Chain A
C-alpha cells in the first residue's frame, strides 16, 4: 500500500488512490459514516479535508455534514499527528494528583500546546479523558506504552530517551554511509 504514496515526505499530496480503495468495501449507507472515518483515521492518522470530501461523495451527503459528525466526536483529529504521540490522561483520579502539571511539562518541553504537533512532526500532545488506569495516576501514554505514576522528571526522561534513540540512529546511519563509501 505504501507504494501508492507518490511522495512520503510531501504531506500535501493525499494518497487519494489509497483512500478510494479504503472506501470501496463500504456500502453506501449513512450508518457506515463513522466506521469509514475510523478506518481512514487508523490508516492516515487524521482526517484531511480531501478525505472528508471523498467520504461525502461516496455516501452522497454534503461535506459539511461529514465534518459536522467528525468534529462532534473526540476521537477524530484534523491535523496530522506527530511520529510519537503523547496522550496525557486528565481523568478525575489523574486530576486530583496533578495530571495537568504533567501535561504542562510536556507542553513546555516541546514548545507546543495540547492538540498540536511540533514543527518537525516528531511529537504531538493530546489530552484524553481517562484511560482507565486510575490506580497508577497520573498517567501518560506515549505511543503504545502507558507510563504510570508520572512526574515532571519522568517527562524529561521520556523525551530524553527519544532524543538519545534518534541520535543513536543517526550515528548508525552515518557509520553505515561512511562504511559503504569506503
Chain B
C-alpha cells in the first residue's frame, strides 16, 4: 500500500488497532485497584539514590504483605527533588513526594498504603486538583512551565512502547503518512520551528532542501552529541521518552524521503544508549519503524552510533566525519549536508529537541506552534537551570519568557539570601549576562543581541561568590581542550587566551592584559571556520564587557572580589569568634593545616592550607569563626607554637 492521502483510511485503521491494543494493556494496569508507586529512575534520580529507594519500597511492601506495584519512570526534570516518587493509592489523588529516602519510603508504605495517612509533611503536591491535598500546580515551578517536548517525560515508562501509544504516541506518524511529503514540509515551515541545537536554522527550510536534494539514498541523523558541560536535556529526553524522538525522526524521514536514520549519542550516556536501543526494537516490533511502516510502502530503519566524546562533533560536518570513522573535524560549507552529507549523500541533521517537537506540530498543526512564544522563534525552549539556584533542573517554557521569570519565579532565585550576580547562558559558546539583562526575553535573536546565545540551553546561575574571571577561564579551558586544531586562530589563540586568564586568576596579571584579551578575541572570531572557534571568545568578551571591574581588581589590586580565585584568597580563623576547646574544624582539614594556639583556640597554617573551604562548613553556625579574605596578605599571621600543647 502506498503512503499518502489515497490510503489515509487504511493507515488510520491500522493505527487504531495498535492504539486499541495499547489502551487495553494499559487500561488493565490503570483500572486495577492496586496502589501504584512510580519512581524517577533516570541518571539524576539514580545518582540521588533512587535505586535504594526503590529497593526500600519493594522490601517494605513485601514485609507488610500488601498488593502494590513499584514501577520505574524517566525524569520529570525537577532535579532538586530527586528521588521523586508518585504514589497512586485508590481513593486518593496521585501524590508526588520529593527527596524520598529509604526511610521515608518505609514510612510511606506503613502509614499511607497500610493506614491511609498520606504523611503531609513529605508531600510535594498532588498531581490533580482535589480538596484534600494542595496541587503541584500551586507551585510556580510546575504551573509556569509549558511542556511540549518533555510533556510525557517522567510520566510514562520509557521501556514500554504501549505506554507511549496509550498517551497518544505515534498518532502524528499515522497522520503524517496520510499526507504528502510536501504537505508535511509546509506544515513545519508554517510552524516557524527553528533548530534547537543552538544555531536556530529554520527546520522547515532544512527539510525542504532535503526533500529537493537528489541522491541514491538519504539519511536522517539525530544529533544527541550533547557536549556542553552543564546541559543535559537531550539525555533526559532519550532516557525518559525515546519514542517521541523516534516518531519525529520517522516523520522527518518520510517528509524528505530517507530510508536510514542514525541516532548519534554520546557514549558517556550509557542509560540513554540502552533506552533508545530498547525503543527502536519495540517500535520495529509494532510496525511503526522498520520496513513497511503501518502497512505502507514507507520503510525507515534506525541505528545507534555512539559518539566518543568530542565537543566539536556537535557541529554537523564534524559529526558526519566522526560517523565515517575519521577525526571529527568540521568541513567547509557549502556543500551543506542536506545536499552532500554522510558518504556524499543528502543528510538531514536535527537536534533531539527539534525532532521531539515534530509530533506535536503534526498533531496540532503548524499554526498552533506559531502562536506559542515569541513571533520570531516560536515554540518552547528547554533550559537546564543549575548553579546557585533554589530549584535547579530542566525547565520547558515558551520562548520569549524573561530571564527574571525563569530564574526568580520558576526556579526560586539564589539560595542563602546571596545577591544574584550573573547568569551564564549557552555554555562555552554563550556569555554571562548581568542583572541589567534580566528582562531579556529568551529567544534566539534577543540573546544574541545581548551577547549570549541559546546554544544547547545550559544555564548557570551565579551569585556574589562566583568570580567572573574564573568562569571565563573555566570555559576557555574547556574550549581550548576541545578545539580540533584545524584552524590556527582557534588552536593557538584559545591557548593564549587561556594563558592570560590563568595568569590573571593567579594574581600575575599585567597592565595591558585586558586590551590584549579583546584583540585576541576578535581575531579568533574572525579566523575560525566553525561555531566552536567563532563563539569560543564569547565568555571572555561578555564578562569583559559587563564585569570589567572584576578583571581590573584582579590585575591591579591582586584581589578577587568574589573570593573565588584560590591564589588570591586566604582563610583565617577569627580568634574573637573561635570557641576555646572546640575541635570541629580540625578533623575536617584534609591537610592538617589547623593547629591549636597557646590559648587553646585554633589557627590555620597558611603554608599548608589548600583553601578547600571545609573548615568553613565544619565551624558550628553559632561561631562562624572561619573567614575568607582577598588579597591573601590581609589574613593575620599566627605562628604555630613550638611545643605541641596538650
Contacts and interface: CB of A to CB of B under 8 A. Distances in A.
A153 B305 CA distance: 39
A63 to B, nearest CB: 15
A155 B617 CA distance: 15
Interface string B406-420: 000000000000000
A146 B47 contact: yes
A152 interface: yes
Contacts of A131: 43, 268
B341 interface: no
B43 to A, nearest CB: 6
B614 A153 contact: yes
A16 interface: no
A152 B612 CA distance: 8
Nearest to A156: B590
Interface string B92-135: 00000000000000000000000000000000000000000000
Contacts of A139: 47
A35 B323 CA distance: 10
Interface stretch (A4-12, A78-86, A101-109, A114-122): A101-109
B590 A98 contact: no
Contacts of A156: 590
Nearest to B587: A153
Interface in A124-156: 128-137, 139, 146, 148, 151-153, 155-156
A33 interface: yes
A77 B387 CA distance: 30
Interface string B442-478: 0000000000000000101010001000010011001
B459 to A, nearest CB: 9
Interface string A26-40: 000111111101100
B80 A75 contact: no
Contact of A135 (B44, B308, B460): B44
Given A38-B308, A92-B386, A98-B613, A134 B232 contact: yes
Contacts of B613: 98, 101
Nearest to A155: B590
A169 B552 CA distance: 57
A179 interface: no
A52 interface: no
B591 A108 contact: yes
Contacts of B308: 34, 37-38, 73-76
A38 B327 contact: no
Contacts of A105: 590, 612
A125 B384 CA distance: 27
A152 B588 contact: yes
B235 A34 contact: no
A105 B590 CA distance: 8
Interface in B380-416: 384, 386-388, 392-393
A90 B612 contact: no
A108 B458 CA distance: 32
**Interface centre among B80, B269, B474, by most A CB within 10 Å?**
B474
Nearest to B610: A104
A68 interface: yes
B230 A91 contact: yes
Nearest to B328: A72
Contact of B325 (A69, A76, A129): A69
Interface string B313-352: 0000000001111111000000000000000000000000
A98 to B, nearest CB: 7
B344 to A, nearest CB: 13
A132 B267 contact: no
A129 B229 contact: yes
A135 B588 CA distance: 24
A54 interface: no
A47 to B, nearest CB: 11
B171 interface: no
Given A38-B267, A98-B613, A135 B82 contact: yes
A142 to B, nearest CB: 12
A92 B458 contact: yes
14 contacts: A31-B324, A34-B322, A38-B267, A38-B306, A72-B310, A74-B308, A74-B309, A75-B308, A129-B478, A134-B384, A135-B82, A136-B82, A146-B43, A148-B48
Interface of B: 43-44, 46-48, 79-80, 82, 227-232, 235-236, 267-269, 305-306, 308-311, 322-328, 384, 386-388, 392-393, 424, 427, 458, 460, 462, 466, 471, 474-475, 478, 484, 587-588, 590-591, 610, 612-614, 617
Given A34-B322, A153-B590, 15 more contacts: A32-B325, A38-B306, A69-B325, A69-B326, A72-B327, A75-B268, A93-B392, A95-B471, A96-B387, A104-B612, A129-B311, A130-B230, A130-B232, A134-B232, A136-B47
